[in-house]
């Protein structure tokens, strides 16, 4: 595997792991919250999303991944967070 | 130049450019402030430093730069900001 594809593969793997860590962090937070309307939750999420977006932007500028690959990682994470968020909402409506 | 050193060179160049952008951003802010004790200044600085630290951490984990190279970039930027900060303080004492 030529160096460039290897670097692309490694970068994508790292970025996906970081995205999963954010989803994991938020799902743990959500498990402990009735409604995620608490400022800390928002702040943790914003900070982590900002950090990941800077990593992705850097990887694109360094030629490690394409802009589309980067957008896909953010998009997948946002969808995961939406799922988590709606589950919490449904749960809180049931109670 | 083998791919790895090329990638190392490119990553360092990008990270140093990002560090310079932060120093530039802060020096512009400082020029317009008497004393940098305004919350916005602190928040912009914190956010930008956090973003750069995440880029550096990513570059280290991806094997693009060494941990020492990353620390050097942050260290140089912090020293630059200290210089900027002391200049503003001296200026405000003169007034």
Q: In this model, does residue B50 exceed pLDDT 90?
A: yes
Please tell me which of the candidates A4, A54, A59 has its beta carbon nearest to residue B3.
A4
CATH of the domain at A28: 1.10.287.750
Give Cα B70 to chain centroid, integer Å: 11
Tell me which residue range forms the domain holding A15. Answer: 3-94
Among B9, B22, B51, B60, the residue to mutate for chain A (most A Cβ within 10 A): B51
Number of domains in chain B: 1
Chain A and chain B share a number of CB contacts under 8 A equal to: 52
Looking at every residue in chain B, the average pLDDT score rounds to 86
Minimal-distance CA residue of chain B relative to A56 = B55
- For B63: left if phi > 0, alpha if psi spans -120 to 50, otherwise beta; the answer is left
Condensed to tens digits (0 to 9), the pLDDT of residues A1-25 reads 566 688 899 999 999 999 999 999 8
Res A26: pLDDT: 83
ipTM of the complex: 0.83
């Amino acid at each position: 595997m030529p160096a460039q594809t290897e670097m692309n593969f490694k970068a994508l793997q790292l970025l996906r792991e970081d995205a999963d860590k954010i989803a994991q962090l938020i799902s743990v937070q959500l498990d402990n919250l009735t409604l995620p309307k608490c400022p800390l939750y928002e702040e943790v999420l914003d900070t982590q999303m900002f950090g990941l977006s800077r990593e992705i932007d850097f990887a694109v500028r360094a030629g490690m991944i394409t802009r589309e690959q980067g957008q896909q990682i953010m998009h997948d994470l946002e969808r995961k967070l939406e799922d988590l968020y709606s589950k919490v909402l449904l749960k809180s409506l049931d109670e």
